[in-house]
Structure 1
Amino acid sequence: MDDLLKEILLINSVSGDESRISDCLINHIVKRRSSWNVSPKIFFGNEFHENILLVFGNPQTAAFAHMDTVGFTSRYENQLVPVGGPEVIPGTWLQGEDAVGAIRCRIQEQQGNVYHDFPRAIQRGTLLSFEQDIRMAAGTIEAAYLDNRLGLYALLKLCETLENGIVAFTTYEEHGGGSMPFLIRFIYENWAIKQALIADVTWITDGVHLHQGAVISLRDSFIPRKTFLNEIIRLAEESEVPYQLEVEAAGGSDGREIQMSPYPIDWCFIGIGEENPHTPSEKASFFDLDCMIKLYQYLMQNL
């Protein structure tokens, strides 16, 4: 594991509180872009609400990765309210900080309600994340928030060689979305982008396995246009990068907001599978991550 992946894994960014991970990415981009094949135009700042757009050359395709994670919000009487869909496992360690100081506590569950065991009241509205514990063994990584730190990492590696394209780092995905509509409008009206790839993490199932390559999703709760999927698969075959095809009835990504937008933009989820989603012990394969990066490099060049 290189230093960049470790650095972004150690930053908390529960949905609605993406400023620290956004600042980290901007610092990395500004520091490294002079060594990339093409130095992109950067769009970020208060008017972009922590979202980041990188525009390389003459773009035809945009790649998106969300920066936020699941977590919890402190309520009253030691209660916690989930942000997104975290797995509630009693005894799991959480971490965060309020105006009084650092917080480290465990999840408790009583009659379907979620609580913490911190010895003092936590200020209302404080966001708590799973405590990070990064473990590596036999070609795998196990940690909290591989969803979607692996997507961020893959697109940052893509930036090193990308000549034409847009890379977008987005917010709010885990809690229903919200930033994509204005980003899609900005991208379409300025560069007439009509193709989008979603760099995210999906689940290991009976049809998606560790160590068998990147994952191209043919559908989840939304269905991409078949002609675009056919072109993606043709290019994936041409690239000779190992990949798997996913078909699911549920789930979603930033792709749903592209499909629901008024703009004629095709999209496809291309990511990586993981075990134990939305827990402190998400598990993924380094081989699959490498395949994901290589597939993005090929698709962004040839779509």
Structure 2
Amino acid sequence: MELLEALCRLPAPSGSEAPLTAFLLEYIEQHAPGWRVQPRVLAGEEFQDCIILCFGQPRTAVFAHIDSIGFTVRYGRQLVRIGGPDAEPGYRLVGQDSQGAIECTLTVDEQTGALGYEFTRDIERGTPLTFACDFRQTDTTVQSCYLDNRLGVWTALRLCETLEHGLVVFSCYEEHGGGTVKFLAKHIYETYGVHQALVCDITWVTEGVHAGQGCAISLRDSLIPRRSYVERIRRIARESGIAHQLEVEGSGGSDGKELQHGAQPWDWCFVGAPEDNVHTPDELVHKADIDSMLRLYQVLMREL
């Protein structure tokens, strides 16, 4: 879990992914020599802060977004949300501006619900703030801010160790409207002819998806993936014997939304572990579901 903790401790809210991109590129450079297949690494200004890793002769792409929710300092001591973070008075927030490191406290106006902060000085407007990381684990669970989606990033990196054929794509901006997957999908489709994807992200514990019973294969959220593709994934999952659950929701979205709205004929399916305490500093995931998620991705990327 050392890698997962390092990922969770790196602030990278939507729009400020560059530090995490640099971390990932350094990690890939250091560890790729020990992977089964050496990937071609695509990164740089053409891809903004995104990264594409191409292994062998790819048939399927795995999309894992690297950004998180957070807050932006507005005027005075006001804050505005990045994405959809939970906001409870007393949450510890951290950041950095030209005057130095910041560790402040979230405030919520009881009458208006307006968000603000308490700190020893005014923070420069436009400064991004994120939840302070308190990474904890037991024999059965992991708890931290930003398991959504640092756990998806962790899964994708671990997948790289044994992947022979496939694309691993680290995208940005997912938590705040998206925007990068469309140009990534276009490049991948035109360069490699790949048009099927797995969305490596974290979903919710609900009345129908339970912690500790395996990662979730989503049959739908606010959008509906093509049924024939999802049925292929369900068949492979059943035959693998790996614990998994089926999710059906009427709201929410992921990188799959941009794939479906794009101009290319992409098939996609969300496959990810469920978490409790969504979008809070205390997101909670069962280790059995983490294990299930990684093993299922390894099988799916061989069989699809």
What's the offset of the Cα at 1:137? 1.9
SS at match of 1:166: strand
Shift of 1:119: 1.9
The letter of the residue matching 1:237 is R
Q: Is 1:159 aligned to 2:160, yes or no?
A: yes
TM-superposed CA distance for 1:213, in Å, is 0.4
* Structure 2 partner of 1:188: 189
SS at 2:25's partner residue? helix
Tell me how far 1:77 sits from its aligned partner.
1.4
The 3-state SS of whatever aligns with 1:26 is helix
RMSD between aligned residues: 0.6
Q: What is the match of residue 172 of structure 2?
A: 171
Q: How far 1:194 moved relative to its partner?
A: 1.6
Q: Distance in 2 between matches of 1:220 and 1:119?
A: 43
C-alpha separation in 2, matches of 1:290 and 1:67? 20
Please show how residues 135-284 of structure 1 align to structure 2 within 5 Å. Answer: 135-284=136-285
Percent identity between the two aligned chains: 48
- Superposed structure 1 runs of 4+ greater than 6 Å apart: none
Question: What TM-score results when the alignment is normalised by the length of structure 1?
Answer: 0.99
Q: Which residue of 1 aligns with 2:34?
A: 35
* Residue aligning to 2:79: 80
SS of match in other structure, 2:273: strand
The answer as to 2:21 corresponding to 1:22 is yes
The Cα of 1:138 is off from its aligned counterpart by: 3.8
TM superposition shift of 1:212: 0.4
SS of 1:301 mapped into structure 2? helix
- Give the letter aligned to residue 118 of structure 1: F
Kindly state the Cα deviation for residue 177 of structure 1 after the two structures are TM-superposed.
Answer: 0.2
Q: Give the secondary structure class of the aligned counterpart of 2:233.
A: helix
Residue identity matched to 2:97 = D
- Which SS does the other structure have where 1:288 is aligned? helix
DSSP-derived class of the 2:30 partner: helix
The amino acid that maps onto 2:225 is P
- Amino acid of the residue matched to residue 10 of structure 2? I
Shift of 1:126: 0.1
State the secondary structure of the residue aligned to 1:189: helix
Residue type of the partner of 1:145? Y
C-alpha separation in 2, matches of 1:92 and 1:5: 22
Helix, strand or coil for the counterpart of 2:102?
Answer: strand
Mapping of 1:95-114 within 5 angstroms?
A: 95-110=94-109, 111-114=112-115
Which letter maps to 1:195?
Answer: Q
TM-score (norm 2): 0.98
Amino acid in structure 1 at the alignment position of 2:145: A
Cα distance in 1 for partners of 2:302, 2:26 equals 26
Matches within 5 A, 1:52-71: 52-71=51-70
Q: Distance in 2 between matches of 1:135 and 1:182?
A: 37
Q: Per the alignment, in what secondary structure is the counterpart of residue 103 of structure 1?
A: strand
Q: Gaps (5+ residues) in structure 2? A: none
In structure 2, the residue matched to 1:50 is: 49
